[in-house]
Amino acid sequence: MDERDMEIEGMIIGNDGEEERLERYTSGSAEDKDSLRQPLLLKNARINNTSQLAIVGANVCPIESLDYEIIENDLFKQDWRSRTKDEIVQYIFLKWTLALLIGLGTGVVGFLNNLAVENLAGFKLLLTNSLMLKQKYYQAFAAYAGCNMVLAFAAAALCAYVAPAAAGSGIPEVKAYLNGVDAPSILAPSTLFVKIFGSIFGVAAGFVVGKEGPMVHTGSCIAFLLGQGGSRKYRLTWKWLRYYKNDRDRRDLITCGAAAGVAAAFRAPVGGVLFALEEAASWWRSALLWRTFFTTAVVAVVLRGLIEFCRSGNCGLFGQGGLIMFDVNSAKPVYSTPDLLAVILLGVIGGILGSLYNYFVDKVLRTYSIINEKGPSLKIVLVLAISLLTSCCSYGLPWFSQCIPCPDYLGDDQCPTGRSGNYKNFQCPPKYYNDLASLFLTTNDDAIRNLFSSASDKEFQLSTLLTFFVAIYCLGIITYGIAVPSGLFIPVILAGASYGRLVGTFLGSFTSLDAGLFGLLGAASFLGGTMRMTVSLCVILLELTNDLLVLPLVMLVLLISKTVADCFNKGVYDQIVKMKGLPYLEAHAEPYMRNLVASDVVSGPLVTFSGVEKVGTILHILKVTKHNGFPVIDETPFSAAPQLCGLVLRSHLLVLLKGKKFTKQRVRVASGIMRRFIANDFLKPGLGKGIQLEDLDIKAEEMEMYVDLHPISNTSPYTVVETMSLAKAAVLFRELGLRHMLVVPKTLERPPIVGILTRHDFMAEHILGLYPQLDPHKKQP
C-alpha cells in the first residue's frame, strides 16, 4: 500500500481509536453484535446496496438523486451578488416564456395525437364496416385484425428497439422524477419521440389503453427539453438559457409539463393543475401554481382554436366530436334518499373492483417483466398476441349479441351510422343495431360517449353491459405492461362506466337517476378505486361532462371508493413505483422509524476531504468510490481543531480538476480560483454527461500538488444531530428536497461528522435489512 492509499484509509477509518473499537466489536459476543445500537463504525463499514437499481423500460439501471438544494459557496455568492436588475427581469421573463412554450408544444402534440388516432382508427373501422355491409365477414375480420396487428407491431418495435423507457403510462416515472429520482432516459428526446408515435399507433390499434397517461409523460419530456439551458451541439448557448441549468428550476418546468399533459388529454385545464398538485408533484408553492395554471390555460386556448379549425371538415375523420368531451346535461339534478343509497353502493363496488384491479395489474406486470427481460423480439411477440386477442374479442363477442330495433325518434340516416355514434349495424338487418358492436367496434372515446349517453335507458341490454365490462376489465389488466405506451385512465373509465350503467339499468325502477349519469358515477368510483385521487379526478370529470349539477354526487362516490380501496392496497401508480424499485420518498415516515435515530442507518465508508487537498488523493477517491458528495474538513493549520467546512460535489470537483488551478504548497488560494472560474462553469449540464473522470489529464507531477476546495464547497449544508429520530430526519429530507444530509455528533470530543444520509438510506429495504426485528410484517419469534 502506497502513501496515498494509506492516507485515504486513514480518512475512511479515522485515527481516533475507531480501529480498536471495530476490533473489539468483531471479537465480542453474538449478543453485542445483534443489539439494536451497534457501534457506528461498523455501520460506516457497511455499504448500502439496496434501492440503487430500478427498472426503467425493461432494463435495470442505476438510480441517482437530483440536486434540488441551493448550493451556497463563494462562487455562488459572487454570481448572486453581481446579478443586475436586468438579469433578474430576464430570469423572470424566461420562466413565463418557457411556460408558454410548454403549453403551446403540449397543446399542439395533444391535438395532432387525437387527429392521427381518429383518422387511423376511422380508416380501419370504415374498411371493416364496408366489408360487413357486403357480408364479407371473414374478410372484415382479416382487415380489422390485420390493421390492428400492423399498428401494434409499429408501436412495439419503437418501444423495444428505440426507447424502452417509453413503454407504459409514464406517470410513475414522472412522479418519481418530481420526487427527486433521476432515472436514465425517462425524459430523453428518443423517449418523447416514441411516446408520441407509439401512443398513436397503440391507441389506434384498438388496445384497451388510453393516451392520457402518455400525454403526461409527453408534456414532461417537452418541458425537460426546453429546460436544458441551451445546447452547445446546436449552438444554442444564449446567456439567458443558462439560468435553468439546475435541477430546481427544471423540476418546476416538468411540473408545468405534467399539468399541461392532463389538460391536453382531457381538455381540462383546472384538472391538470390539480392533478400536478395532488398526484405528481412532491413540492409545491404559490408561485408554481400561477405558472402551472398559465401553462394549462395556453393548452386550452390552443386546443380550442385547432378544434374549431377542424369543424369545417379540414381534418379528415377528426373534428366531429373534437377531443374527448362527454355530454350528460340531460341528467336530472334532483335526487332522493334511494338515489343516494344507490350512489353509495356504486362507491363501495368501485372501491372493491378498483383495489382488485390494482392487485391483478401488479401480478401481470411482474409476469411481463420476466418476459420482457428475454429481449426485444419476445416483447413484440407478446404485443402481437395481445393485439390478436383484443381483435378476437372486439369482433367476435358482438356475434353473441341480439339485434335491437332502432328507436323511433331516430331517422333512417342516424340508425345505423357507419362512422360514429351510438348505433352500429354490424350483421343486423336494416333499422336494427348491435349494441355490443356499438361499444367494441368504435374508438375508446366514442364508446365512453355511448355509455354516458342519456338518450335512452334501454339503449344497451344488461347482458351487453355485463359482457363489455368483463371483457374490458380483463383486457385492461393484461394490456397494461406490454411494450407500448399505454395509459390507464381510459380503460378504467370504460370499465367503470359500463358497470355503472349496468347498476343504473338494473336499479331503474328504484331510482330517478338515468343510466347515463350512473355511467358517469361508475367511472368516477372506479377511478377513485384505482388512482386514489379525489379533487383532481372530480374536477377532470366535471370539465369532461360540462355539468356542475352532478358535483355533489361525484364528490360522494369518489370519497367512498377511495376510502374502501385504501383498506386493501395502494393506488396503482404507487404500486408501480414500488414494483419498479424507484426510491420514492413518501410524505410520511413509517412508524418503525420512530424507534431509530439518524446514526442507526448511516452507511459507509465515509470519505472526507481536507479544505486544501492533494490532487492525487482527490483523483484516487473519485476512482475508487461512486459517492456524489464529500464532506470537507478543515484541520490545522487552517483550524485550531477539526471542523466541518462544508460539502463538495463530485461534479464540481471534476470541473475544478480540469481547470488545473493547483499549487505546490498546501495553502489557501481562493482568490486565484475565483478569478479562474465563474459560477456558470459549475452549472449542471443538460442532456450531455458533463465532465467525466476519463476526460481529466492529470500529469504525474501534478498529482503531488494541492487544490483549494473552499471556494466550491457548500458552506451551509443541511445537518442533523446523530440522535435525531429517523422519522423526523426522513420528513425533513423529503420536504427540503435534499440529496445529502450530514449527520453530526452530539459531543464535541468526536470528529466533526458522523456520516451522510442519502435517499437510499431511508428506503424500507435498507432499514429493515439492518434491523429485521422492526419489520411490521414479519412474525416475531
> Which residues, 6+ apart, have CB-to-CB distance to 553 below 8 Å?
335, 343, 517, 521
What gap in Å lies between CA 191 and CA 196, rounded to an integer? 9
Asked if residues 743 and 756 have their Cβ atoms less than 8 Å apart, the reply is yes
pTM equals: 0.89
Cell of 385: 398476441
pLDDT in tens, 211-222: 888 999 999 999
Give the Cα separation of 517 and 455 in Å (integer).
11
C-alpha cell at 301: 386556448
Averaged confidence pLDDT in the chain: 84
Q: What angle do CA 244, 247, 686 make, to 5 degrees?
A: 65
pLDDT at 626 over 60: yes
Residue 535 has pLDDT above 80, yes or no: yes
Would you state the cell numbers that stand for residue 109, as one nine-digit string?
Answer: 402534440
Q: Which residues contact 455 (CB under 8 A, 6 or more apart)?
A: 330, 407, 422, 516
- 128-173: pLDDT as tens digits: 988 988 889 999 999 999 999 999 999 999 999 999 999 989 999 9
The CA distance from 615 to 628, in Å, is: 17
**CA atoms within a 13 Å half-sphere pointing along the CA-CB vector of 594:** 5
User: In the predicted model, is pLDDT for residue 293 greater than 90?
Assistant: yes
CA distance 390 to 141: 12
Grid cell locating 198: 407509439
pLDDT tens digit string along 46-59? 666 666 777 776 67
Phi, psi angles (nearest 5°) of residue 53: -130, 145
pLDDT value of position 497:
93
Strand boundaries in 558-667, DSSP class E: 609-610, 612-614, 629-634, 643-649
Q: What is the band of 649 on the pLDDT scale with cuts at 50, 70, 90?
A: very high
Over residues 459-482, mean pLDDT:
93
pLDDT value of position 673:
78
The pLDDT value given to residue 231: 58
pLDDT (0 to 100) of residue 97: 93
Residue 32 has a pLDDT of 39
Dist CA 294 CA 106 (whole Å): 13
- Pairing relation of β-strands 719-721 and 741-744? parallel
Q: CA 442, 447, 516: angle at the middle one, nearest 5?
A: 155
Q: How confident is the model at residue 22 (pLDDT cuts 50, 70, 90)?
A: very low
Distance CA 55, CA 311 (A): 43
**pLDDT at residue 416 in the model:** 60
Tell me the per-residue pLDDT of 407-426, one tens digit each, with 9 for 90 and over. 776 655 556 654 445 678 78
Continuous segment of H or E residues that includes residue 292: helix 286-310
Q: Tell me the pLDDT band of 324, cut-offs 50, 70 and 90.
A: low
Which CB contacts under 8 angstroms, 24+ apart, belong to 75-78? 75/674, 75/677, 75/678, 75/679, 75/682, 75/711, 75/712, 76/679, 78/674, 78/678, 78/679
Residue 42: the pLDDT is 39
DSSP string, 395-418: HHGGGGSPEEEPPTTS-TTTSS-S
Up-side HSE of residue 608: CA atoms within 13 Å toward CB? Answer: 25
Which range, 32-46, 494-508, 679-693, has the best average confidence (pLDDT)?
494-508
List, in sequence order, every residue forming a beta bridge with 633; answer none if it has no partner.
610, 644
Query: 3-state DSSP call for residue 729?
Result: helix
> In the chain, pLDDT over 90 holds for what percent of residues?
48
Give Dmax over CA atoms of the chain in angstroms. Answer: 98
Name the residue with higher pLDDT: 237 or 55.
55
pLDDT at position 328: 61
Looking at this protein, which amino acid is placed at residue 383? V
Per-residue pLDDT at 39 exceeds 60: no
Element (H, E) at 434: strand 432-434
Residue 239: band (very low, low, confident or very high) from pLDDT cuts 50, 70, 90: low
Work out the number of other CB atoms within 10 angstroms of the CB of residue 695: 11
Average pLDDT on 654-670 reads 86
Instruction: Quote the pLDDT of residue 129.
Output: 85
Report the phi/psi class of residue 635: left, alpha or beta, with left for phi > 0 and alpha for psi in -120 to 50. beta
CB 604 within 8 Å of CB 46: yes
Select the highest-mean-pLDDT range: 347-356, 575-584, 685-694: 347-356
Nearest to 162 by CA among 389, 410, 484: 484
Residue 16 pLDDT = 36
Q: Does the structure show a pLDDT above 50 at 18?
A: no
What pLDDT was estimated at residue 50?
A: 60
Q: Which pLDDT value is given to residue 2? A: 44
pLDDT higher than threshold 90 for residue 729: yes
